[in-house]
Amino acid sequence: MRDIRYGGFWIRLLAFLLDLLMLGVLNGALATADFGVYVGRSRIDAVTGAVSGGYDATGIGLALLLPMLIVVGFWGAKGATPGQSICGLRIVDADTGARPAVWQLLVRYVMAGVSVLFAGLGFLWIAFDPRDQAWHDKAARTVVVRTR
């Protein structure tokens, strides 16, 4: 791969914030889709005003699984999330420059979660790495490149 412009820390942070905003809007829409509003662990029905509490397994499963399906799905289909696309970024295999394999995308997603557990140090690594790779990029053997 030659003449590569890697996606640096600040542009990737902007892309992440855009994606977070979009996922938040989607999450809010899904939470109120049945005309109920969630406050903490309680649900207030918009029609009757009845309050119910607690999380159920389906809700927790969706909260964990849906973002993964969306993010990994966009990476696989488009090579980038919507925020990354807006910022002119694309994820590619670090060795070939080709589209990453599905296993790479799954490893990338899981390792991004590990980076969060370590106070975001895996993301901060982008600022110091010569190829602007985060820990999840290194684990999955991917790089984020600029498309424009």
Whether 6 contacts 72, CB under 8 Å:
no
List Cα–Cα distances, 105 to 80, 100, 102, 110, 147, in angstroms: 11, 7, 5, 9, 19
CA–CA separation, 34 vs 41, rounded Å? 16
CA angle 62, 20, 54 (to 5 degrees): 35
- pLDDT tens figures, 14-29: 999 999 999 888 877 7
Looking at residue 56, its pLDDT comes to 60
By DSSP bridging, strand 89-93 and strand 51-53 are unpaired
Amino acid of residue 88: G
State the residue for tokens 């820990």. Answer: 135
pTM of the prediction?
A: 0.79
User: What is the distance, to the nearest Å, from the Cα of residue 148 to the centroid of all Cα atoms in its chain?
Assistant: 22
Q: In this structure, what DSSP letter does residue 100 have?
A: P
- What sign does the dihedral 72-73-77-81 (CA atoms) show? negative
Looking at residue 115, its pLDDT comes to 92
Looking at residue 101, its pLDDT comes to 97
Task: Phi first, then psi: give them for residue 38, nearest 5 degrees.
Answer: -100, 130
- pLDDT tens figures, 87-138: 999 999 999 999 999 999 999 999 999 998 998 999 999 999 999 999 999 9
Looking at residue 85, its pLDDT comes to 97
CA–CA separation, 31 vs 128, rounded Å? 39
Delimit the domains of the chain by residue range.
9-146
- pLDDT tens figures, 31-64: 666 544 544 555 556 566 665 665 566 666 777 7
Amino acid of residue 101: A
